Every structure is written in structure tokens, then in C-alpha cells.
Amino acid sequence: MNHAAGYAGEPEWPGGPGVLGAGGPVAGERGAAVVELLVVFLTLLVPLVYVMLVMADVQRALLATSSAAREAGRVYVTGSDRLDAERRAAQAYREVLGTYGMRAGDPKAALRVGGGCRDGVGSGCVGGFGPGAEVQVVVTYRVPVGRLPFLGEVAGPGVTIGATHHTRVDRYRGLGR
């Protein structure tokens, strides 16, 4: 049997068996690789980019809440009285969040400052403020997960990020009374 001529019943291709015609692939499959690549590309890449953007926002919120809690606690303990300390802590909170591109007045952001006097700190600690008082600052921020391109965030699930900072008013500090 002549192998160059092909097997019985096998169609003859120009150029011999196993060689495609001058036109290349079968005409019905032209462009199929481009379509397949586009489908796979969009199926894999778009969700990956979306997840990366959400994770970047989560990381930014982690840094912002941690920094805001630390700075609010640091300035709180340097206040001359409780009102001054709360005012200073709120100002530091707003400034730090603003540094990270977040608004302190945003309903997704929250600041909570609490203080208390421990036993045996002396008579200077009154009403949760004074020498020896312990202060706890909690900052939270809700990162929205649902977003649409060019429209921004939509109602839906979110990830709440929070940071807590504990500090103490110096026991031997005079509070400018």
C-alpha cells in the first residue's frame, strides 16, 4: 500500500496526507483561539483584579485604624482635663483618617474612647481621668465589598476593621488645673 496516497476511504489533502491545506486551520475554527483566550482572560483576571482592589482597601483600613487609635490615645493622655483630652483625641482621629483618604464623619468610621481609674492610683484620678487613669481607644472602619465599575460601592456585605489602643495617663503628671 502506498502511504503517500492515504488509506482507503481517507480524503486526499492537497500536499499529501497529514498536511493541512494552504488556508491553514479549517475555516470554521478561525478566531476560536482568540475567543477562548478572551473568555478565560475575563473569567480569571477580572475577579482577581477585583479581589486585589478590595484587599488593598482592607490593608489601607488596617493601617488607618491602627494609626488613628494610637494617635488618639497618645494625645488623649496629654490633655489638661477630660473635655480637652476628648477634643484632642477626636482631632487626631480625624487627621489620621484624612491622611489615609477616609472621612471621620463617614458612617463607616467610628471612634470610641473610654477611661477608668484603677485601684490604688491615688486621689488624682476622678471620673476616669487623671494621673494613673487607663484609657482605651477603639477605632473601627467598615470596608464595603460590593462595588461596581464607575459607580462605586453598592449596598451589600462589608468587612469591619478595628484597632484598639490601651494607654495610661502618667501617674506623676500634673494636670494643669
Q: State if pTM tops 0.75.
A: no
Q: Which residue has the higher pLDDT, 16 or 145?
A: 145
Q: Which residues pair with 152 in a beta bridge?
A: 148
pLDDT at residue 171 is higher than 90: no
pLDDT of residue 25: 58
pLDDT at residue 97 is higher than 80: yes
Among candidate residues 59, 91, 98, the one with its CA nearest the CA of residue 75: 91
pLDDT at residue 177 is higher than 80: no
Q: 17 pLDDT band (50/70/90 cuts)? A: low
pLDDT of residue 19: 53
CA distance 70 to 112: 12
pLDDT at residue 160 is higher than 90: yes
Among candidate residues 127, 141, 137, the one with its CA nearest the CA of residue 89: 137
CA distance 153 to 107: 14
Q: What is the mean pLDDT of residues 27-54?
A: 82
Q: Which residue has the higher pLDDT, 21 or 118?
A: 118
Q: What is the mean pLDDT of residues 45-65?
A: 90
pLDDT of residue 6: 54
